[in-house]
Structure 1
Amino acid sequence: MTDGLVLPPGAGTKIQNMTLKVGAEQSTIWSAFEADVAPGFDVGAHLHAEAEEVFYVLDGELDLLAFHPVGRADGDWRSWESASGATTHRGGPGSFMFVPAGCPHAFSNPGPEPARMLFLVSPAGHEIYLRELGELLGRGGPPDPEAIAALRLRHDIQQLTALTTRPPAAPRH
């Protein structure tokens, strides 16, 4: 028999802007993170051939996308539309996004305040990618695009638009 895991608020292993709650060391099925999303951060549209993901907004607002776009998947993903007419959703606390394998998806923080989300990914092991990416980015100087592309390929990530950090939007009145 295996015991479960109970963590107090803030506990876990910090990896970049995320706190790993449960990973491949505890589960073969999924990894769970609490993610801090800085104002202006845009993960860029991407997809995974095998992985499924769940995003749940805890604090702040995020622009969320989880659909196949009509036409080419390039440019600013916030302007994409699906064949059924779906567009990007601006979600606050309690907003939920499920991403099946093979579905393009993205999130960004459009506002001036940080956002927080619960992030689940299956199968487990996404923390390995995050650690390796942190090592690449921590070498100083501009990141090597070829090394990042190879890392993403090894970890089932097909990047469709660039990961960026933009100046946050002005507050809405």
Structure 2
Amino acid sequence: MDGSIEPSHGNSPHVYTKENEAFCILAGDFEFINGDQKFHAGPGDFIYIPKGARYGFRNAGSEPARLLVFYTPAGPDSFFLKNGQEEGAAIPLTREFYETVADQMAAHNIVVLPSDGDWA
């Protein structure tokens, strides 16, 4: 998937139970969490998240950022397509959004986890 992420937006800490996920940063500055650690990633960086790992990301810059998202095996992408995340959609990926689609997330092997206090 090709994603454009608005400043301060991203996703809540979560885990995929059956899929690995990877990101290729095309533009912008992202902050990632991986377990209990945080790190920044920028253009050209590639991040691999194995299934079962707690992680999240957000645009840490002041401009829209862009990344490519890969799932192996494929499948979770259908969750985003079913929930208005197609090209041009303006739905921010916030904890509130995830709470409204929790049942659908479970059907796609996605488990939202508690925040660490300063992570949306």
TM over 0.5: yes
Instruction: Return the alpha-carbon distance in structure 1 between the equivalents of residues 82 and 67 of structure 2.
Output: 22
How far does residue 91 in structure 1 lie from its aligned partner after superposition?
Answer: 1.2
Instruction: Return the alpha-carbon distance in structure 2 between the equivalents of residues 106 and 143 of structure 1.
Output: 15
4+ runs deviating over 4 angstroms: none
Q: Specify every segment of 5 or more residues in structure 1 that has no aligned partner in the other structure, as ranges.
A: 1-32, 68-80, 82-86, 136-141, 167-173
Residues 75 and 108 in structure 2, CA contact (< 8 A), matched pair in contact too: no
Aligned-pair Cα RMSD in Å = 2.4
* CA-to-aligned-CA distance 1:19-63 (integer Å, 9 cap, x gap): xxxxxxxxxxxxxx1111111103011001111011111111000
Give the structure, 1 or 2, with the largest relative contact order (CA under 8 Å, sep 6 or more): 2
Alignment-derived partner of residue 14 in structure 1: none
- Aligned residue pairs total 107
Aligned with residue 59 of structure 2, among 95, 102, 109: 109
Residues 62 and 90 in structure 1, CA contact (< 8 A), matched pair in contact too: yes
Higher strand share: 2
Q: What is the identity percentage for the equivalent residue pairs of Structure 1 and Structure 2?
A: 26
* CA-to-aligned-CA distance 1:66-85 (integer Å, 9 cap, x gap): 23xxxxxxxxxxxxx3xxxx
Instruction: Tell me which amino acid in the other structure corresponds to 1:58.
Output: L
Residues 13 and 113 in structure 2, CA contact (< 8 A), matched pair in contact too: yes
Q: Specify every segment of 5 or more residues in structure 2 that has no aligned partner in the other structure, as ranges.
A: 86-95
Please say which structure displays the higher CA radius of gyration. Answer: 1
Q: 1:144 to 1:153 in 2, by over 3 A?
A: closer
Q: TM-score, normalised by structure 1?
A: 0.55
How far does residue 110 in structure 1 lie from its aligned partner after superposition?
Answer: 1.7
Q: TM-score, normalised by structure 2?
A: 0.77
Matched residue SS, 1:134: coil
